[in-house]
Amino acid sequence: MLANLKMELKTEENDFIPYQKAVILQGILMEQVREEYAAKLHVTGLHPYSQSITNLNGRNIWNICTANEEAFQEIMLPFQEERFSDFYMEDDKWKVSVVQKQLFKIEKKEFMEQYYFENSDRYIQVSFQTPTAFKSQGEYVCMPTLQLIYQSLMKKYDAASDDETVESGEVLEQLLEYSRIVQYQLRSSSYSVHGKRIPAFMGQMKIKVSGPQAMVNFLNLLFHFGEYTGIGIKTAMGMGAVKLIEGRKG
Amino acid sequence: MLANLKMELKTEENDFIPYQKAVILQGILMEQVREEYAAKLHVTGLHPYSQSITNLNGRNIWNICTANEEAFQEIMLPFQEERFSDFYMEDDKWKVSVVQKQLFKIEKKEFMEQYYFENSDRYIQVSFQTPTAFKSQGEYVCMPTLQLIYQSLMKKYDAASDDETVESGEVLEQLLEYSRIVQYQLRSSSYSVHGKRIPAFMGQMKIKVSGPQAMVNFLNLLFHFGEYTGIGIKTAMGMGAVKLIEGRKG
């Protein structure tokens, strides 16, 4: 099951909560989950969830996404309980109220069918809504390439799935051969994690996929999955939140 | 000798002349040069000159740059003559007056010395002022990489020089190893040449060079040379005009 919980947050003074605060919110999130699960996440280093802060028409939206059944049970259920209605952010001395909760969930099977058996769009338009970065050969990369994006998406898809593996060098090569960036607007940005500044980027990108329809569907599937997992590094700390912009079917 | 001629252009109705019109201006330029030289440029396929239209505080500036002595003699001299004071742009029915001419020139030796023997800045900030594109493996590339930029700069440097060659795979590898993009703001764009739309980009980029000072100097030299030659494809038709933004010495 894939799930997305949107919580509208309000401080007493109606403060704007910048995306950077997701680093703090990860702490709030971890306080809600059972110790055993927190320890498991820590040991495996896998993150079958992502969370970020975005701002929508002046409202602070805390997005939490889970990408498999276990994460849903362990993370989403505690947040859905009524008692989770406010919390305190110490650094800023903010008393934060959760004024609205909205949960969207979809069975993985149903999610897959949407892309495998339909004619997905050949144009994929991605908006990188919070700073996004990759690590390659030990260094941060603040300028995206399709290779880094696809590798990250496949890795995250596999990490969230018990039953299947999609990551393969061969598939990657094919995806790269048949797709290219046709439009973009990107700028470098950065994200601070515990005092360390990570070079990153934000913006939009439109990709055209020219291969067989099955490949178009697969890439759409990966990117839509990426809306739950994020793209790149530190997606559990608020980086790499992506949203697909739906265009005309093409 | 390196030279840069800036001509302020004015139409009767004070029209804004978009950068795209440099395609037409290349025709005007070729009319001024001797047939033999035009033929030579055509046969060699080399362009030891670049030209573009930019807009500065509402004024239309036609920039013509030449990157060697011959190009200076053949291209710059005719434009400097007093009789070159107006021309007609048929497509737009614009009678264009040259209201100001400004020539800057520097001997190549002096130009080289500026970079070889001084401590050039480790941060190189480049502004891509007109749509810039590369061709790689037969396809247009509308998103820059340092590799494509450096390859283009070295190729253009060599094309304008009789006496020396800087392009080499080894040097390229070293440049790539010791430099990276640390900041940017880029967006896709396009440029029409005779009805064909070329995908391109515009914007700014800041590069940090971490290698030995000699490498820093060499890269600065290449980029400053690039202000005369442009970067990427179709720089004689107005694409790939770059300008370095001087920062603090660092």
Q: With an 8 Å Cβ cutoff, is A188 touching chain B?
A: yes
Q: Are B148 and B193 part of one and the same domain?
A: yes
A196-209 vs A179-193, strand pairing mode: antiparallel
Does residue A122 lie within any of the structural domains?
yes
* CA atoms of B68 and B63, how far apart (whole Å): 16
Q: With an 8 Å Cβ cutoff, is A143 touching chain B?
A: yes
Q: Are A186 and B186 in contact (CB under 8 A)?
A: yes
Q: Angle A146-160/A213-229 helices, nearest 10 degrees? A: 70
Final residue in a domain of this structure, among A75, A106, A137: A106
Angle at B29 between CA B14 and CA B7, to 5 degrees: 45
CATH code, A19: 3.30.70.1890
Q: Are B79 and B185 part of one and the same domain?
A: no
Q: With an 8 Å Cβ cutoff, is B146 touching chain A?
A: no
- The answer to whether B181 contacts A187, with C-beta atoms less than 8 Å apart, is no
Residues of chain A above pLDDT 70, percent? 99
- The answer to whether B199 contacts A182, with C-beta atoms less than 8 Å apart, is yes
Q: Strand order in A179-193's β-sheet?
A: A242-245, A123-132, A196-209, A179-193, B179-193, B196-209, B123-132, B242-245
Identify the three-state secondary structure at position B194: coil
Q: Which of A180, A198, A206 to mutate to test the interface with B (most CBs of B within 10 A)?
A: A180
Residue B143 has its nearest CB partner, among A139, A184, A199, at A184
Shortest CA distance from B144: residue in chain A: A143
Across chain A, which distance is largest between two alpha carbons, in Å?
54
Q: Which residue has the higher pLDDT, A166 or B50?
A: B50
Q: Are A136 and A51 part of one and the same domain?
A: no
How many residue pairs from chains A and B have C-beta atoms closer than 8 A?
35
Q: Are B55 and B146 part of one and the same domain?
A: no
pLDDT under 70 in chain B at which residues?
248-250
Annotate A132-159 with b (16+ C-beta within 10 A) or e (fewer): bbbeeeeebbbbbebebbbbbbbebbeb
Q: What are A117's two structure tokens?
A: 């058996």
Note the pLDDT of residue A192: 95
Report B:100-119 residues touching A (Cβ under 8 A). none
Spell out which residues of chain B touch residue A182, defining contact as CB-CB under 8 Å: 142, 188, 199
Residue A183 has its nearest CB partner, among B139, B180, B188, at B188
Q: With an 8 Å Cβ cutoff, is B184 touching chain A?
A: yes
Q: What are A118's two structure tokens?
A: 């339909």
Q: Which of A61-65, A158-162, B236-240 is predicted least confidently? A: A158-162
Does residue B113 lie within any of the structural domains?
no
Residue B184 has its nearest CB partner, among A180, A182, A188, at A188
Residue B188 has its nearest CB partner, among A184, A187, A199, at A184
DSSP state of B36: H
CATH code, A133: 3.30.70.1900
Q: With an 8 Å Cβ cutoff, is A245 touching chain B?
A: no
* CA atoms of B94 and B89, how far apart (whole Å): 5
User: Residue A115: pLDDT above 90?
Assistant: no
Per-residue pLDDT band for A250 (boundaries 50, 70, 90) equals very low
Q: Are A63 and A129 part of one and the same domain?
A: no
What is the enclosing helix (H) or strand (E) of B172? helix B169-178
Shortest CA distance from A137: residue in chain B: B177
Note the pLDDT of residue B250: 42
Task: Give the domain extent around B139.
Answer: 120-245
Per-residue pLDDT band for A248 (boundaries 50, 70, 90) equals low
Q: Are A74 and A141 part of one and the same domain?
A: no
Q: With an 8 Å Cβ cutoff, is B77 touching chain A?
A: no
Q: Are A93 and A133 part of one and the same domain?
A: no
What is the ipTM for the molecules in this complex?
A: 0.87
Q: Are B132 and B234 part of one and the same domain?
A: yes
Does residue A250 lie within any of the structural domains?
no
Does residue B114 lie within any of the structural domains?
no
* CA atoms of B217 and B211, how far apart (whole Å): 10
Q: Are A25 and A93 part of one and the same domain?
A: yes
Q: Which residue has the higher pLDDT, B247 or A35?
A: A35
- The answer to whether B184 contacts A183, with C-beta atoms less than 8 Å apart, is no
Angle at A59 between CA A55 and CA A65, to 5 degrees: 60
Does residue B163 lie within any of the structural domains?
yes
Final residue in a domain of this structure, among A106, A128, A145: A106
Please give the tally of structural domains in chain B. Answer: 2
Note the pLDDT of residue A16: 96
Residue B184 has its nearest CB partner, among A143, A181, A183, at A143
Note the pLDDT of residue A86: 95
Q: Are B69 and B166 part of one and the same domain?
A: no
Shortest CA distance from B198: residue in chain A: A182
Final residue in a domain of this structure, among A43, A71, A106: A106
Q: With an 8 Å Cβ cutoff, is B176 touching chain A?
A: no
Q: Are B157 and B196 part of one and the same domain?
A: yes
Q: What are B29's two structure tokens?
A: 């330029």
**How far does the CA of residue B22 sit from the closest CA of chain A (Å)?**
23
Residue B184 has its nearest CB partner, among A139, A180, A187, at A187
Q: Are B99 and B62 part of one and the same domain?
A: yes
A233-243: pLDDT as tens digits: 999 999 999 99
Backbone angles phi, psi at B234, to 5 degrees: 55, 40
Spell out which residues of chain A touch residue B182, defining contact as CB-CB under 8 Å: 142, 188, 199
Shortest CA distance from B204: residue in chain A: A187
- The answer to whether A142 contacts B182, with C-beta atoms less than 8 Å apart, is yes
Shortest CA distance from A139: residue in chain B: B180
Spell out which residues of chain A touch residue B132, defining contact as CB-CB under 8 Å: none
